[in-house]
């Protein structure tokens, strides 16, 4: 796991599935590779106490981000389960496994998680990408999405629950029912990824990470918390928390210093009412 210091306040953790414990694999990397990295990722967060830690998950094999679960292995598991006579009532208790914990870690940590999608990203691989805060894909001859319906199955690692929260129920229902994966450009148009770039996805993700690192870690954490929970929080409760966190940030020294600096610039031009780094706000 590579760790790069972007500036005195920021560390970048690159989860490269080709390195570390998964180098013995010869097939394109599956969700199991992400599971193997979960403990290492958690240790990295504890070890690096810098105010901002941005995570990039990037593919470990040429042409792949994260491969779907092995259909052959799933078939063997299914045959064994059927032979056992075990059944799954709809109200059975759900116990998440290590893959679920890996996705929960991405969603719950206070730091932004960016998926740099550099190749095939299907089924469980795409479900992992859905747990990341931002998804940047590079253009190419590969597919993104949830094709499980073509096997008589359904997405089993959060796809039916996360995708509707991201692109809306009608669009998610169409995509999952059809089971037809999309090209990177189509995925951007449909909202499955935030951007598709003609260059390297990791380069664009690094650019975004550097821009985010210019913000305060407190504002990033509160924004992620509020937006992540918005669809499941009653509006009145969400508005109250938003206002309280806004006021909490207002009196912090970093915010006061930035507001003071802005006021001293005495900006009057409407086109410069908010100063941003233009380079980080453009696409290709």
For 13, the 3-state DSSP assignment is strand
Q: Known catalytic residue: 148?
A: yes
Q: Which listed residue (138, 148, 188, 207) is catalytic? A: 148
Element of type H or E holding 66:
strand 64-66
Q: 121 CB contacts (<8 Å, ≥6 apart)? A: 65, 66, 129, 137, 142, 143, 144, 145
Q: Which ranges constitute the DSSP H helices of 132-200?
A: 159-167, 169-178, 184-190
Q: Compute the distance between CA of residue 121 and CA of residue 67 in angstroms, rounded to an integer.
A: 6
Q: 1 CB contacts (<8 Å, ≥6 apart)? A: 13, 14, 15, 16, 19, 20, 37, 40, 41, 44
Q: Known catalytic residue: 218?
A: no
Q: Which listed residue (127, 138, 188, 207) is catalytic? A: 127
Q: Compute the distance between CA of residue 276 and CA of residue 6 in angstroms, rounded to an integer.
A: 18
- Which residues are catalytic, by number? 127, 148
């Amino acid at each position: 796991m590579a760790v790069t210091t972007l500036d005195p306040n920021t560390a970048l953790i690159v989860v490269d599935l080709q390195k570390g414990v998964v180098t013995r694999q010869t097939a394109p990397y599956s969700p199991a590779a992400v599971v193997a990295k979960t403990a290492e990722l958690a240790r990295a967060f504890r070890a690096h106490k810098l105010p901002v830690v941005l995570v990039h998950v990037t593919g470990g094999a040429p042409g792949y981000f994260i491969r779907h679960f092995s259909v052959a292995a799933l078939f063997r598991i299914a045959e064994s389960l059927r032979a056992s006579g075990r059944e799954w009532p709809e109200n059975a208790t759900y116990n998440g496994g290590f893959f679920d914990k890996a996705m929960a870690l991405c969603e719950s940590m206070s730091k932004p998680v960016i998926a740099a999608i550099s190749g095939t990203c299907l089924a469980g691989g795409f479900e992992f990408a859905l747990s990341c805060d931002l998804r940047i894909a590079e253009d190419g001859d590969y597919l993104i999405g949830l094709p499980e319906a073509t096997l008589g199955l359904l997405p089993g690692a959060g796809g039916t629950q996360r995708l509707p929260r991201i692109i809306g129920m009608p669009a998610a229902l169409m995509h999952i029912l059809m089971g037809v994966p999309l090209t990177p450009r189509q995925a951007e148009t449909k909202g499955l990824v935030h951007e598709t770039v003609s260059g390297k996805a990791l380069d664009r993700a690094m650019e975004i990470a550097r821009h985010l690192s210019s913000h305060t870690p407190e504002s990033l954490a509160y924004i992620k918390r509020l937006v992540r929970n918005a669809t499941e929080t009653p509006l009145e409760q969400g508005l109250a928390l938003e206002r309280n966190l806004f006021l909490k940030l207002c009196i912090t020294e970093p915010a006061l210093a930035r507001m003071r600096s802005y006021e001293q610039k005495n900006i009057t031009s409407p086109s410069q009412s908010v100063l941003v780094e233009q380079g980080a706000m453009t696409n290709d």
